[in-house]
Amino acid sequence: MANTFLTPKMIISGQNALSDSANELSKMGKKAFIVTDTTMLKLGNLAKLTNILDQNKTAYTIFAEVNFEPDDVIVIKGANLYKENNCDHLIALGGGSPIDTAKAISVLLSSDDPLSSYMGKIIDINRPALAAIPTTAGTGSEATKFTIINDTASKVKMLLTGPCLIPDLAIIDPIFTSTAPKSVTSHTGIDALCHAVESYTSRKSQPLSDSFALSAISRIFNNLKKCYENGNDIEARIQMSLAALEAGISFNNSSVTIVHGMSRPMGALFHVPHGLSNAMLLEECMNYAVEGAYDRFAQIARHLNLTASSDDKQAAHIFLDKLSELLNDLHVPTMSEYGIDKEEYFNNIDKMAHDAYASGSPSNTIREVSVEDMVELYKKIYR
Ligand SMILES: [Fe+2]
């Protein structure tokens, strides 16, 4: 069977990417709706964008309210503001949350149906032009057909998908990621690592997604610790920005698996930031997933030049040991350190395992994953 491979129409990356995008931004429309958060405002990152729009004589409305992982309420508010201000295109500036919000706003602008009605369907709408400017090296949302929105009524993180959600223009400028604090660098970097490893070890992997995944994994192993230890290491920041993009392109065309499947319910119920819940899950989930996929994990070890062993099982475990070492170096807090109450957590394990299963992601893992397996894994990761 043939494979389909999707990417943004245009990617502008590297130093000065934002300023070099002025011409492309000017083609997007007459009045931009900027979706961002107050941190971008305070750090001066928003001004870097509005300066360019001012020079282009493009009008804009600023919606700087996405200060948490987005839910249906903030998306409705954004869509209404867009209409009231007669905007004609969207620019998302920030981490995954503003980018996901902008995508979801574009859906509401094109239809009166609630976002929850799109769960489990392929979204196919004509939306306004959309540019995405990531300021963390992690989510890869600038390159994906997915948006994750909390449904406030059901307390479920909705995974909404459709090729039309891939931004038209992705601007990857390392100037933004250099402002990310240590914990954000660590968690978002691990999120990108999850995208790449899950994508490579997914049942839906394909040759082109494999190329992007392996390249991302190399860049992450060579640069994430450097960024974490020295946020001003610009070369390492550039490499991580590219890695996050590659990982996003990769899982956009294959899929994520068990880590992301189990991570979303933790975010929905305990408000653990996405990258952090992935980080808490990654090691145990990969130790589980390796059985039945030794060859794929072994290929990662060989690609990283960790071993020349032709014994798949041995090589796969060499990669997992290296992964454990990296996670240790990045000081991921445990759940109890993060403040999740043990009793409340254990009382919700059944719901989380069922919600994870229903999302469909765990079944992309090569090893069969049952609800009961995830119940055991959720128990195991509480420390
Ligand atoms: Fe992710």
What is the full DSSP assignment across 324-355?
A: HHHHHHTTPPPHHHHT--HHHHHHTHHHHHHH
pLDDT at 44: 94
Ligand 1 centre and the CA of 195: distance in Å? Answer: 6
CATH number at residue 147: 3.40.50.1970
Ligand 1 centre and the CA of 51: distance in Å? Answer: 31
pLDDT at 71: 95
Ligand 1 centre and the CA of 31: distance in Å? Answer: 31
Nearest to 202 by CA among 240, 253, 278: 253
Ligand 1 centre and the CA of 342: distance in Å? Answer: 25
pLDDT at 195: 98
Ligand 1 centre and the CA of 260: distance in Å? Answer: 6
Query: Is there a domain that residue 65 lies in?
Result: yes
Ligand 1 centre and the CA of 139: distance in Å? Answer: 5
Query: Is there a domain that residue 3 lies in?
Result: no
Query: Is there a domain that residue 62 lies in?
Result: yes
Give yes or no: residues 273 and 171 share one domain: no
Kindly give the pairing relationship between strand 146-151 and strand 156-161.
Answer: antiparallel
Give yes or no: residues 164 and 206 share one domain: no
Query: Among 177, 207, 242, which residue terminates a domain?
Result: 177
What is the domain range of residue 323?
182-381
Length of the chain: 383
Query: Is there a domain that residue 154 lies in?
Result: yes
Distances (CA, A) of 182 to 89, 179, 208, 230: 33, 9, 32, 9
Give yes or no: residues 187 and 172 share one domain: no
Query: Is there a domain that residue 1 lies in?
Result: no
pLDDT at 157: 84
pLDDT along the chain (383 residues), means of 10: 96 95 97 97 96 97 95 97 98 96 97 92 96 93 95 89 97 89 94 98 98 98 97 93 96 97 94 94 97 97 97 98 97 94 97 94 97 98 95
Give yes or no: residues 91 and 71 share one domain: yes
Distance of alpha carbon 216 from alpha carbon 299, whole angstroms: 14
Ligand 1 centre and the CA of 361: distance in Å? Answer: 12
Give yes or no: residues 151 and 52 share one domain: yes
Distances (CA, A) of 370 to 199, 354, 365, 377: 19, 9, 11, 11
Q: What is the largest CA-CA distance in the chain?
A: 62
pLDDT at 19: 96
Angle between helices 294-303 and 207-229 (to 10 degrees): 60
Query: Among 177, 199, 220, which residue terminates a domain?
Result: 177
Ligand 1 centre and the CA of 189: distance in Å? Answer: 10
Determine which helix (DSSP H) or strand (DSSP E) holds 247, and give its type and residue range: helix 234-253
Ligand 1 centre and the CA of 248: distance in Å? Answer: 8
Ligand 1 centre and the CA of 97: distance in Å? Answer: 11
Ligand 1 centre and the CA of 82: distance in Å? Answer: 27
Give yes or no: residues 190 and 228 share one domain: yes
* Number of domains present in the structure of the chain: 2
Give yes or no: residues 289 and 316 share one domain: yes
Give yes or no: residues 145 and 213 share one domain: no
Query: Is there a domain that residue 297 lies in?
Result: yes
Ligand 1 centre and the CA of 192: distance in Å? Answer: 7
- Which residues are within 8 A (CB) of 302 and not within 5 positions of it... i.e. 6 or more apart? 308, 315
CATH number at residue 351: 1.20.1090.10
Nearest to 160 by CA among 220, 106, 83: 106
Ligand 1 centre and the CA of 85: distance in Å? Answer: 32
Ligand 1 centre and the CA of 271: distance in Å? Answer: 15
Give yes or no: residues 23 and 82 share one domain: yes
Six-digit token pair at 219? 């860049």
Give yes or no: residues 97 and 224 share one domain: no
pLDDT at 247: 98
Beta bridge partners of 89: 32, 129
Query: Among 155, 177, 199, which residue terminates a domain?
Result: 177
Give yes or no: residues 236 and 355 share one domain: yes
Residue written as token pair 């490893």: 197
Query: Is there a domain that residue 141 lies in?
Result: yes
Distance of alpha carbon 299 from alpha carbon 307, whole angstroms: 10
Ligand 1 centre and the CA of 2: distance in Å? Answer: 26
Ligand 1 centre and the CA of 59: distance in Å? Answer: 32
Give this prediction's pTM: 0.94
Query: Is there a domain that residue 5 lies in?
Result: no
Ligand 1 centre and the CA of 256: distance in Å? Answer: 8
Residue written as token pair 């807090």: 333
Distance of alpha carbon 212 from alpha carbon 196, whole angstroms: 8
Residue 4 burial class via C-beta count within 10 angstroms: exposed 0-12, middle 13-18, buried 19 and up: exposed
Kindly give the pairing relationship between strand 59-63 and strand 89-94.
Answer: unpaired
Give yes or no: residues 148 and 268 share one domain: no
Ligand 1 centre and the CA of 26: distance in Å? Answer: 30
Ligand 1 centre and the CA of 262: distance in Å? Answer: 11
pLDDT at 197: 98
Ligand 1 centre and the CA of 93: distance in Å? Answer: 17
Ligand 1 centre and the CA of 206: distance in Å? Answer: 19
Ligand 1 centre and the CA of 308: distance in Å? Answer: 31
